[in-house]
Chain A
Amino acid sequence: MTPALKTHDLAVGYGRQPAVLSHINLAVAPGEMVCLLGVNGIGKSTLMRTLARMQPALGGSVEIDGRDISRMNQGELARKVAVVLTERVAIGAMPAYGLVALGRYPHTGWAGQLSDADRDIVAEAIAAVGAQHLAQRDINELSDGERQRILIARALAQRPAVLLLDEPSAFLDVSARVEIMAMLRRLAREQQVAVVLSSHDLELSLRTADTLWLVDRAGAMHVGAPEDLLADGSVAGVFSGPEVVFSTLERSFKIRGHGAVRAFVTGPGEQADLARSVLEREGLLVVAAEEGAELRIVVATSGWEGSGAHGGGRGSSFAELALFARRQAQGSHDV
């Protein structure tokens, strides 16, 4: 299949300064959902802006449906690429329908009059984001999540081959965030549009993206399915820091244990898992073998019992276990 979006040896950055990212070769197929990940300030927004031609490439090229975007006029580009930006949309009074209808801009005549076909596309875009009930509401009355849906519908009404979203879930609460990402994935498939979004939400991106574009701290681009980048350690390499470590297995961040105290946990599966997460949060190193562990915790449904170098203890709640673990870690520091 011809890629919807393709870059050749692309370099992005500002003016005469050295390129922020360079030698970028990427391809996105229609219907594919890509998440661009990387730490702050590494050049994610710069790359997104360059793909949307909101700033010129420093080198190389971007092709959409096989055509170099630098050779397209503004109208042609607008019929191929639609964007959802982080900037606030502040309009005095406009129904959500009107905002979505603005997406038809590059397809209508000089007067901007909507044809029946345009109206069908607008209504379909509103339905595709599940916002029929919002169509007549003023956009100022919408919640952040609802407004984001409407802005995505506006971009869909533009009928692009490529949909670029700059941190679409940035200002949303947790449930709206998950909803938007799941919706984008469905839209990519249904509308056969190539979706590229930049995100800070690593865990959610790992679960929803077909492909990750992961920029490491040296500015190199790692491309692959989330599981491939998890398996080769790229994700953990980029996102582990002095305080947290990214656990490949659990696909989530953990507070980095300093390993001063090794703890071993036994007990029924779920209870033991919860006890392990308590110990990890307290900075203990949870080990898989009893041998060599300074702290030994036995968990049962009724409570827990622990014995370690700094005395033993028992309790019925995980809060008490946390206190016990803290004392053990503290004691080892004092020695």
Chain B
Amino acid sequence: MTRNHDGQDDALDHRASPRVAIASAVASSGAYHTVVLGIALALLVATFIAAICLGSTSIPLGTVFGALTGQPASGNPDFDIITAIRLPRAITACLAGAALGVAGLQMQTLMRNPLADPFVLGITSGASLGVALVVLASGSAIGSFLTGGMGLGGGFAIVIASTLGGLCVLAPTLAIASRLQNPSTVLIFGLMTGYAVSAFVTLLVAGAAPDQLQRWIAWGFGSFSAVTWNELQIFGPVVVLGLVVAAVTIKQLNALLLGENYARSMGLNTTAMRILTMAAASLLAGAVTAYCGPIGFLGIAVPHVARSLLKSSDHRVLVPAAIVLGALTALLAQLVALLPGQFGVLPLNAVTALIGAPIVAFVILRSRKGIFVG
């Protein structure tokens, strides 16, 4: 220890100026990150308010602010629309977007693969299987939980089933990933597992009655509208729990950027980290799938947008950015889905694919050094 100290002091005397130069340059990149995150946050707030104003009927801003700041309802029917429908829907969109963005970021870092996300790796399919099994086993109509028919207990069962379903699909893929270094092999294995599980779900659901089948298909379109304040009591805390796991493992996620061998050499228990991250990503994606349907592309696109806007792979900025940009993207998708106005809504999944696919394609085409540079 003493020898390190002496060496350090020596070097400090000789090399004071470069440290100052380095420190000031680091501070400037920190300021850039703060500005970008600040703008994203402001956009999020504006979009949140827009999501409450806009819908089948437009509500004036004044009324929205009134309702949000807790003014007495005073018989205004718009207040009911806001509190019963639009506010929970907007909050659900924010939570789901943040959850998928962070789950995608966790998967991309854990697998060191920029194309990894909960959907590609089959977490979403596994979660669908969990949902299908619980719904079928409980004897209730498929999709009845969407209308709150199962109550809080049923809601928990669905979240647990979808999380476990996601984990069951993710675990073999990650086990293979730890043995095979080839990222494309792992991705294709994940995709195939997801397809197989989806096929199994289709078989399960195929025997259902036509009206149940239709509701299952509607659930498959994806929607933020089915979550009421009741469901938010489960959905909210579950998503926050998953996000907290991501937030407290930022240091570990950064170590994983160097690969598992380097991470272990710096003192990270990679096995525990792998399991914890898998569980958190499955919980996040599982909860979203249970309540909003299998939503694609947010998980893969949001981390890429975050990385390219912030020009950084540092999770200290990427985790907050994935939360804010995920919520923002989900709200925007929700707004786009409402575009037909009185003529109904667009399937959310179609909207996220239309937003996400070009982003992913752009990111892949733009990266000069190939897509497998996380």
Bound together, the chains give a CA A81 to CA B23 distance in angstroms of 27
Residues of B close to A242: CB separation below 8 A: none
- Tell whether B340 is near chain A: CB-to-CB under 8 Å: no
Selected interface stretch from B10-18, B136-144, B212-220: B10-18
Measured CB to CB, the nearest residue on chain A to B11 is: A124
B314 touches A94 (CB 8 A): yes
Stretch of A39-47, A96-104, A172-180, A265-273 on the interface side: A96-104
* A73-97 interface with B by 8 A CB criterion: 74-75, 77-79, 81-83, 85, 87, 89-95, 97
Q: Is the interface of B mostly helix, strand, loop or mixed?
A: helix
If A120-B8, A123-B18 touch, whether A90 touches B265 (CB-CB below 8 Å) is: no
Q: CB of A219 within 8 A of chain B?
A: no
Bound-state Cα–Cα, A30 to B7, Å: 13
Chain B residues within an 8 Å CB radius of A30: 3
Does B248 sit at the interface, judged by CB under 8 A? yes
Tell me the complex Cα distance, A83–B251, Å.
Answer: 19
Tell whether A190 is near chain B: CB-to-CB under 8 Å: yes
- On whether the beta carbons of B314 and A158 are closer than 8 Å, the reply is no
Q: Does A108 contact B (CB under 8 A)?
A: yes
Residues of A within 8 A of B12 (CB): 120, 124
State the Cβ distance, A131 to closest chain B Cβ, in Å: 10
CB of B269 within 8 A of CB of A85, answer no
**A120→B23 CA distance, assembly (Å):** 10
The residue that A105 contacts in the complex, of B114, B255, B269, B311, with Cβ under 8 A, is B255
Picked from B3, B26, B265, the residue with its CB within 8 Å of the CB of A82 is: B265
> Closest approach, in angstroms, between the C-beta of B260 and any C-beta of chain A?
10
Q: What residues of chain B lie closer than 8 Å to A102, measured between beta carbons?
A: 254-255, 257-258, 266
Tell me whether A247 is interfacial, beta carbon within 8 Å: no
Cα A97 to Cα B28 in complex, Å, equals 13
Contact status A78-B265, CB under 8 Å: yes
Do the beta carbons of A106 and B19 come within 8 Å of each other? Answer: no
Distance (Å) between the CB of B310 and the closest chain A CB?
A: 8
Closest chain-B Cβ to A285's Cβ sits at a distance in Å of 48
Whether A135 touches B25, Cβ cut-off 8 Å, given contacts A102-B255, A105-B251, A123-B19, is: yes
Q: How far is the CA of A91 from the CA of B7 in the complex (A)?
A: 31
The reply to whether B266 and A94 contact each other, CB–CB distance below 8 Å, is no
Q: Give the docked Cα–Cα distance between A196 and B26 (Å).
A: 33
CB distance from B370 to the nearest CB of A (A): 9
A128 within 8 Å of B by Cβ?
yes
Docked CA distance A89–B264 (Å): 14
Instruction: Flag if A95 contacts B254 (CB, 8 Å).
Output: no
Supply 19 further A-B pairs (C-beta < 8 A) apart from A92-B313, A98-B312, A119-B19.
Answer: A54-B265, A74-B264, A79-B267, A85-B261, A90-B112, A91-B374, A92-B114, A93-B307, A94-B314, A97-B22, A105-B267, A110-B248, A110-B251, A120-B8, A123-B23, A124-B19, A126-B22, A128-B11, A191-B4
Task: Please name the 3 residue pairs, one residue from A and one from B, whose CB atoms are nearest each other, closest first.
Answer: A112-B251, A78-B267, A123-B19
10 A–B contacts, CB within 8 A, in A order = A54-B265, A74-B269, A78-B265, A78-B266, A92-B313, A95-B29, A102-B266, A127-B18, A159-B4, A192-B7
